[in-house]
Amino acid sequence: MTINSTIALIEQRVSANLFEDSHILTDAEIAELTRLATRAPSAYNLQNWRFIAVRAPEAKARLRRLAHGQAKVQAAAVTFIICGVLPDHASLAARLHPFVEAGFMPSDMASGWQEGARVQYDDPQTARDEAVRSAALGAATLIFAAEALGLVSCPIGGFDTDGVSREFGLGPNEVPVMLVAIGRSLPGNWPQKPRRPLTEVLELS
Amino acid sequence: MTINSTIALIEQRVSANLFEDSHILTDAEIAELTRLATRAPSAYNLQNWRFIAVRAPEAKARLRRLAHGQAKVQAAAVTFIICGVLPDHASLAARLHPFVEAGFMPSDMASGWQEGARVQYDDPQTARDEAVRSAALGAATLIFAAEALGLVSCPIGGFDTDGVSREFGLGPNEVPVMLVAIGRSLPGNWPQKPRRPLTEVLELS
């Protein structure tokens, strides 16, 4: 039962286009969705992400204009701007501290991870890749959490990233990786789009 | 019930380090995991990903050497190399064709999406970001599918990307975005690492 319901959710999820625009999520519900999204994995437990929950009418209208006018950005109860943060190895001390304090991780291991992160993200492209990767893992977890709570979602990649950074106050170390609209489905959404055959995408080695 | 089991899975997931090394997944089980992973969303339904399932002992040993010798790469039943593919707008015709044929998407909309993708991914950084994003969304879905099937997983970002590309035959348009080890848990894995407080990562707008 546990098994089948999550599998069914994965199998049946669609990217919704039509949202019930009178539906509202409370700030507590939005916080709960975000809490679940942050259960996603991240490299070194960096948690290099930030979630901007756009739910006020004026803010949604502004975000819609930056997303080619896509109506779902405004019709959904909330549209998240999922930001990836360029990894800062120095942040790891604080991120790992509670785990060291709790006796799970030796403190020299935490220092070793920090040094590993310093070396790994010295290359700017690698750092950017990690920001995109962490944000996408967080976004996927947010999507599954929303589905599990009976909501629908739509990840959106087509938007003015510079405009979003400027108008929503992203820091210079933050990348607006994707938008995720979440709300209640209206009738008429498309079924799941067809997937490529496994023979095209799976290689056994 | 449906709701709570997926939420519990999201809340309880950990990145496992210790895998039962005698445990094997059949090729059919690996195919099923991959089928589920490809239910992930992708921009324009590009499905710009490829999954290399490394499960033969020799191949796992080779991959382990390219991943700083991390034992879990070899101990897990399978370690996937999740590749993101630089988006090719021309591929969209085939990807959307079954949806047009089935009468859901008007053919001029499919052409419009193709043109949208051509313009959007003309910039190389944007194209690379999309490869990383799609692969990460696929990886997250793979991880949740594995968890739902009673397995454990570990996403791995620390590996020699050039070495993996060379030794596992990735194409010039393919980015090895992450590894995901999947198998059966041994006792002794860490609990979930602490998460940052929501006040640090959530902004309401």
For residue B136, give how far its alpha carbon lies from the nearest alpha carbon of chain A (Å): 6
- Token pair recorded at residue A193: 């789009």
So what's the pLDDT on residue A4? 80
So what's the pLDDT on residue B205? 97
Average pLDDT over residues B15-42: 97
Q: What is the mean pLDDT of chain A?
A: 96
pLDDT higher than threshold 90 for residue B4: no
Average pLDDT over residues A53-72: 98
Domains (ranges, CATH) in chain B?
21-86+121-184 (3.40.109.10)
So what's the pLDDT on residue B111? 94
CB-based contact A49:A85 (threshold 8 Å):
yes
Helices (H), A42-195: 57-65, 71-75, 92-101, 107-120, 124-148, 161-167
* Nearest Cβ partner for A10 among B36, B59, B178: B36
- The bridge status of strand A49-54 relative to strand B202-204 is parallel
Confidence of residue B1 (pLDDT cuts 50, 70, 90): very low
- pLDDT digits 0-9 by tens, B56-100: 999 999 999 999 999 999 999 999 999 999 999 999 999 999 999
CB contact under 8 A, A201 and B34: yes
Among B71, B77, B78, which Cα is nearest to B17's?
A: B71
- pLDDT digits 0-9 by tens, A114-158: 999 999 999 999 999 999 999 999 999 999 999 999 999 999 999
- pLDDT digits 0-9 by tens, B101-145: 999 999 999 999 999 999 999 999 999 999 999 999 999 999 999
Q: Give Dmax over CA atoms of chain B in angstroms.
A: 56
CB contact under 8 A, A52 and B205: yes
* Nearest Cβ partner for A9 among B6, B15, B132: B6
Least confident range from A6-10, A144-148, B4-8, B44-48: namely B4-8
CB contact under 8 A, B140 and A145: no
Confidence of residue A187 (pLDDT cuts 50, 70, 90): very high
Residue B170 to residues A200, B16, B61, B132, B152: CA-CA distances in angstroms? Answer: 14, 27, 18, 15, 26
Torsional class of B198: left (φ above 0), alpha (ψ -120 to 50), beta (otherwise): alpha
Average pLDDT over residues A18-24: 97
Chain B partners within 8 Å of A38 (Cβ): 195-196, 198, 201
Average pLDDT over residues A73-78: 98
For residue B84, give how far its alpha carbon lies from the nearest alpha carbon of chain A (Å): 11
Chain B partners within 8 Å of A50 (Cβ): 201-203
CB contact under 8 A, B196 and A158: no
Q: Indicate the pTM of the whole model.
A: 0.96
Average pLDDT over residues A82-88: 98
- Token pair recorded at residue A88: 């800062």
pLDDT higher than threshold 60 for residue A1: no
CB contact under 8 A, A6 and B5: yes
A8: number of Cβ within 10 Å: 13
